[in-house]
Structure 1
Amino acid sequence: MSQSKLQKRQYRDGWTRTKRIKLETTNVTTTKITEVNDDCLEHIFNKLELVDLLNVADTCKHFRQSVDWVFERKYKSMKLYLTNINTKYTHELEIRVQSIWVFDILTALKLLRNFGHLLITLDISGFICGWMLQKIFHYINKYCVDTLTEIHFYCLQYFAMEVPLPKVETVTFSYCTLSGHIIEFNKWFPQLRNLEFRGDHFAENGDGKCIEKTLSNLDHLSLKFGPTAFQASNIGEALRLNPQIRRLQVANNNLNISISKYLQNINDLDVHWSTKGVDAETPVIHLKNVQCFRITCYDLMPKILYTFDCLKKFTMESTPRDWNDVIDFVNQNQTLIEVTLKQFGRIPVVDANGKFKLAQTLAKIKTVNFYIFSLSVDEAITFTTANKALKSIRFKLNSKSDYDDLKIKLSNEWTQSIGQTGIVQLKR
């Protein structure tokens, strides 16, 4: 076949194919994105990053249900951090462990506008310039009122609250200047159950009277880090006005015998212990209803100056000055069913005899979490054989390589497991 005929045939065949394709596609119907059903949209949007999801949410009301479903499924349980917000950040937001961090003002406002009705937990930082902070508060008041249950204010000196947040149950103030209308907790947080203060300089003029209010739903009051603005008299008055409070976190410097009568309704007490001002003349406080007691001490832990009637759970995060004090404390509280000992600060020095004595002391406890020093295989076996009431124990072996040896020596009544951090758990 001549080249000219071949070219003509190729031209003709090509033209025929092209023509056939055109004929076939003329009857194909097109579907607009707005006509795609919600199930398909949810599948598509589920592949998007949060920044892209925000852009889609701004596009069309038709996508609202699908976009909300994706956000609720992927991000609703995360805490939103609005911190260091500026107009010069190269990235708008980051997804970290169970949290969303927003750094750009436009992204923050877009997120509050589109998904504020789904947010549960919010953290607002004071490292935001005035007009941005005012705008953020306005959007919170407008879009987040019906869903927020927890809010944390950090280093704020300005609060532009406009309407109450009726579902907020947990409020935390960290290094904030509290003055004016924000301390009207009943007005802004009518369902407040957990109120926490952190930092040493949060109240204007060092006035701790902001907690001397009747808060009918308050169950948990936390002054854990011992703000200097609070005095024992402030805490006593808060407990007197709110006898329904059952959980208290406080520094021991703020507790004294003068307010002990107001501590008798507390079930859960968490004390940050300081040895400052504590001596042999410091009186012991008796607590008749406390069932859970946690104590943390940065220094060597002295003798515990509290006695109990019905203590069930005891946690100590410290290094005792004298292990006999801990042993005596456990022996005095016969109602204990769970003991947790954690190391804080310097590594404790305990000889084999001391460890054996401690094992005998814990013989009546059902659950023991022993993180204060590591055990050898033989010491671990001693704990399990000496304690007939023991149901569960957590501890750390001297070496991970000892775990196989421990499994061989343990009796069949125990099941064992080891975590990534080397913590061994035995269950009877």
Structure 2
Amino acid sequence: MDNRNEAADRKRQPEGANPPANKRSKTSETVSADVQRASNKIAQQPTKIHYTRLRRRMDEEEEEKLAKLGPQPNDGTTKLTDVNVDCLEHIFKNLSLIDLLNVADSNKQLKPAADLVFASRYGKQWIFILSRYKSILIFERNMYPPTVQIPRSFRLKLLRCFGHLITKLDITHDKHMDAYVNEYCAESLVEIKFQRCKASTLDDLKKPFTQVKTLCFDSCKLGSKLSELDKWFPKVRRLEFTDRNETAVHFPHLQHLTLSLPIDTNNRLNNLSELLRLYLNTRSLSIIGYFEFKYLQSVSEHLQHLERLDINPFGYFSNVGNDTVHFPNVKKLKLRDVVRESRLRWATH
């Protein structure tokens, strides 16, 4: 009976009131392990934080290096801008002038190769940008037909992209184009011809044309501004006027002079004599237009060092008489329709 009562009392006792000894020991071990793990986690936390910051800093430095190098191809392909200049030049030789202009105007990395192609193909050719033509014409040795022609609407882009490579230019006065020519061609032009320009053309200039050796004015009205030409064209060796200019200008390096004498010019002999006195060391002279025999006498009087003389009169000489003109140093004489008067005599050394 006693045993039965003890068993009943144990059943009535709440669970966990007196746990077995082995259970109490297991619970204590679990708690100790949990405490140890928490302690380790707290001890390792500063190291993880330091590693995360270091890794982030290294990643940022790597991104900065890649940004300085520029975008890198990630698909294994080669872009056109990755090709060297020699290969690009070979490729661009197959392009038309318009395509070459578009390439030079669209990408700075491709422009050096486009410059090489333009310089080798058109650098020494004459470029005509005239208002009477709807196209820009490029001639080799100033001979027809042109090497190439493109719409005139490309004139400003042509000067902006390749002006530093153009050496020979024939242009009609245009305010915007004059400014472009001066801005982009001042250091490259060797020969330039102005057509129908006005005195205001010189007002638009900002810097001199330092390499121009041949300067020509066709049907231009410069007036008093003509005296400023030596400032803007300091190295001229060949000067050509195809119309009347009342004011003369001195070019210290001038070797060749071309003059055109209109029929309606007043006091032509005085103007011619004044002009010739400025170029006493000129070696070559071309005269075109309406003039009398006394003009040649003025030439022989002033240009004692003349070595070449080209005469192309409009019509007959007048008042020839029995006079003789003497050119002691002339080595080459070209007469066009001059010997129509039997009394005209030439004396050359």
Q: TM-score category by the smaller chain?
A: 0.5 to 0.7
Match of 2:184 in 1: 143
For the 8 Å contact 2:128–2:136, the answer to whether it is kept is no
Question: What does residue 220 of structure 1 align with?
Answer: 256
For 2:170 and 2:219, how far apart are their aligned partners in 1? 13
Residues 173 and 103 (structure 1), Cα distance of their counterparts in 2 relative to 1, 3 Å cut:
farther
Cα distance in 2 between the residues matched to 1:187 and 1:101: 34
Q: 1:282 to 1:162 in 2, by over 3 A?
A: farther
Match of 1:38 among 85, 103, 107: 85
Paired with 1:295 and 1:97, the residues of 2 have a C-alpha distance of 28
Distance in 1, Cα, partners of 2:296 & 2:339? 21
> Which is greater in Rg?
2
Does residue 1:244 correspond to 2:281, yes or no?
yes
Q: Distance in 1 between matches of 2:166 and 2:222?
A: 25
1:163 aligns with 2:204: no
Q: Report the alpha carbon displacement of residue 109 of structure 1 after superposing the two structures with TM.
A: 0.8
Match of 1:71 among 118, 134, 154: 118
Q: Distance in 2 between matches of 1:245 and 1:261?
A: 13
- Equivalences for residues 1-400 of structure 1 within 5 A: 29-84=76-131, 93-97=136-140, 101=149, 103-105=151-153, 107-126=154-173, 133-157=174-198, 158-159=200-201, 160-198=204-242, 202-203=243-244, 208-211=245-248, 213-224=249-260, 228-229=264-265, 231-251=268-288, 252-253=291-292, 255-258=295-298, 260-279=300-319, 281=321, 283-297=323-337, 301-303=340-342, 305-310=344-349
Question: Unmatched 5+ residue regions in structure 1?
Answer: 1-26, 127-132, 311-428
Deviation at 1:125, TM superposition (A): 1.7
Aligned to 1:255, the other structure's residue is in SS state: helix
Are the counterparts in 2 of residues 287 and 306 from structure 1 also a CA contact under 8 Å? no
Report the Cα offset of residue 46 of structure 1: 0.4
Cα offset for 1:102?
5.4
Identity between Structure 1 and Structure 2 (%): 32
CA-atom RMSD, angstroms?
2.7
AA matched with 1:218: L
Structure 2 unaligned residues grouped into runs of 5+: 1-73
Structure 2 residue matching 1:239: 3-state secondary structure: helix
Question: Aligned pair in 2 of structure 1 residues 304, 123: CA closer, same or farther (>3 Å)?
Answer: farther
- Post-superposition shift, 1:259? 5.1
Q: Cα gap change, 1:180/1:103 in structure 2, threshold over 3 Å: closer, same or farther?
A: farther
Give the Å deviation of 1:194: 0.7
Letter aligned with residue 294 of structure 1: K
- Mapped to 1, the partners of 2:87 and 2:124 lie a distance apart of 24
Residues 4-37 of structure 1 show CA distances to partners (whole Å, capped at 9, x for unaligned) of: xxxxxxxxxxxxxxxxxxxxxxx97211111011
Distance 2:276 2:339 in 1: 30
Amino acid corresponding to residue 303 of structure 1 in structure 2: S
Q: Give the deviation of 1:275 after TM superposition.
A: 5.0
Letter in 1 for 2:253: N
Work out the number of aligned pairs and report it: 264
Counterpart CA distance in 2 for 1:123 and 1:307 is: 36
Structure (1 or 2) with the greater helix fraction: 2
Matched to 1:104, the amino acid is R
- Contact kept, 8 Å, 2:316 with 2:340, in 1: the verdict is no
**1:305: Cα distance to partner?**
3.1
2-structure distance, mates of 1:182, 1:295? 30
Aligned-pair CA distance for 1:85: 7.5
Q: Indicate if the aligned counterparts of 1:271 and 1:294 stay in contact, CA closer than 8 A.
A: yes
Higher RCO (CA-CA < 8 Å; seq separation 6+): 2
For the 8 Å contact 1:167–1:191, the answer to whether it is kept is yes
Deviation at 1:96, TM superposition (A): 5.0
Give the strand-richer structure, 1 or 2: 1
Structure 1 length normalisation: TM-score?
0.56
What is the identity, as a one-letter code, of the residue corresponding to 1:216?
P
Q: Secondary structure of the residue that 1:301 maps to in structure 2?
A: coil
**Compared CA separation, residues 58 and 239, structure 1 to 2 (3 A):** same
The CA deviation at 1:273 is 3.1
